[in-house]
Amino acid sequence: MPGFFGTGGPSAKPVVQCASAAGVLNIDLARGEYFAVTLTENVTSVTFSNLPPAGFGATFMLWITQHASSAKTFAMPAAFDWGGGTVGAISTAVGAVDILAGSTRNGGSSWDTTISKGRA
């Protein structure tokens, strides 16, 4: 990808494809900052691995694509802190794409999060 890698220029980062297993979606921060999942089952919990140590921050963006024929649910972790106090929820329209973004500065014990819904 000419022009995207190198000193002084913009950089591109890969989008890591994820899948839930037995209802659990794991976000491995050692693999990157950008993630995508197409729901094939209800997600009952989201876990994070390779969190930063105390005094360091981390961010993630997750593109969530709703199942193509039947809507699936996506449970938000209790560690997610939502602006205004209202817990975010994903779109239920089949094929809808939402973007979930989060940032932590305390080793992942809490995440400032936001969701942009209905992107597709």
First to last CA, the chain: 26
Q: What's the total number of domains in the chain?
A: 1
Give me the pLDDT at residue 55, please. 86
Is 9 inside a domain boundary? no
Distance from C-alpha of 120 to C-alpha of 108, rounded to nearest angstrom: 30
Is 20 inside a domain boundary? yes
Is 3 inside a domain boundary? no
Distance from C-alpha of 70 to C-alpha of 40, rounded to nearest angstrom: 9
Cβ contact 89:67 at 8 Å: no
* pTM reported for the whole predicted model: 0.89
Give me the pLDDT at residue 1, please. 46
User: pLDDT averaged over consecutive 10-residue blocks of the chain (120 residues)?
Assistant: 55 92 97 97 97 91 96 96 92 96 92 90
Q: How many CB atoms lie within 10 A of CB 15?
A: 14
Sign of CA dihedral 75, 50, 109, 81: negative
Give me the pLDDT at residue 6, please. 55
Is 86 inside a domain boundary? yes
Is 90 inside a domain boundary? yes
Give me the pLDDT at residue 33, please. 96
Is 33 inside a domain boundary? yes
Give me the pLDDT at residue 120, please. 67
What's the domain range around 20? 15-116
User: Can you tell me whether residue 29 is helix, strand or coil?
Assistant: helix
Is 2 inside a domain boundary? no
Give me the pLDDT at residue 5, please. 54
Which of 62, 55, 66 shows the shortest CA–CA distance to 15? 62
Is 10 inside a domain boundary? no
